[in-house]
A and B are shown apart, each in its own frame.
Chain A
């Protein structure tokens, strides 16, 4: 059996286990065992991958397997990973693991919640291991649908509205995406849905690319919070339960960037070069606009959601720069943002679970009351504003240095504009930290609140360790990603 199929199999087994489990303890056992198994498999995969590479494996994708499941359209269950997918799988493993602990005490309907949660993670893992466009799309949809129920049933605030909006916008985008995928399939000669085959055939006419590239890019871009299609993100994140926000902002939004890069740009290099500037402008707007919007929000989750718009904008920004450094930076930023934002949402969820408000105007002086969560929040904030030693710094610096290497003045100018976001980020993060954590607590109901429980501590500590570990020793992961970026970027630059 293929190593990669484990990532789909484990969630399915977990769902089976959840289905037959009878009480809360059993549900939790199944979740912890399953999530740990996923995390361990992800780490094992990383180690195996690095070993295979250092042993001299030169194929673009390793651990390949193909099973045709719909022959008339050449749709196959094809799996394979390169450094980028390995990094993403690792990220997903970490987030699912910590998400389990972050929703440890969730009520009601815990079992059903975890069922959908697991289905969502199955979709995510399946997406990252697939290299067949249609199977990828299928897993994408699998990841999308549970979101509706998770937000609609277990959310807070205007949850029905948010769930509906999120699902409809993402569904709309995936409809466009499906057109794009079918367009690619038929224009490339309708012989294979496999990304590698299409990319190496180079037989999509440029005129066709110009039609399908925007469709595919926007289709995935909506998920990556591309301006002006980002508005599902603040509402969706604000209403979703903690672990769903974590998984959504941490991993699901990365599907967008990953898809843009792996499908839209890889398969249609000429169009990417020709139309890149339009999307570059949009992403630059995303970066600055998201950061500026975050400055005046008063809901903790809205602040973080707009911050995600800004940071995910940077991902798309960097991949459009089409060079090795910037693209590596983009993947690093996906990882780093995934971890940081998951940490943020976890902490916000924990604070909200205690104070029952996320309005920054009603919170103050929480540091004295819940020191563990307070310190965690400060660390998350500092990581978010790109402090050296945390993952944000390495990702942003790689992106900025890489983007600034572009020969075109236009690209360098917008790089400088995008750079300003790091100052704005500092403004809203520090205002927020100063407002809710520092000072004296003015609300007497908050004085009796307790600090984090052990399960919450596990989630927070694991995430902080990952953020700091990535930020302090970026060499190995950066190299792993970069080696896999090379074939895609060279495909793009060759076709210029």
Chain B
């Protein structure tokens, strides 16, 4: 049996990688991937806590599934926006998008 710690280490690394990626990348697509990494890290935690700590319940699994569904929807919208932005300004670098400031 793999200890719970191992799972949590993996998810922590994923979360930190996500945060790091979100901070450092200026490409919208890369930032979206980072956000997805963070979300998946939490999904892992939900699944793990449910499986190892509360094996009688089902809430963790459902929450993870729910979160996956939402992130799918969110990604679809985000990519749609990105495509539109790209069509307008030929770039998806985040610091180039400043049209809405004025």
A–B touch (CB < 8 A): the answer is no
Interface, chain A (partner B; CB < 8 A): none
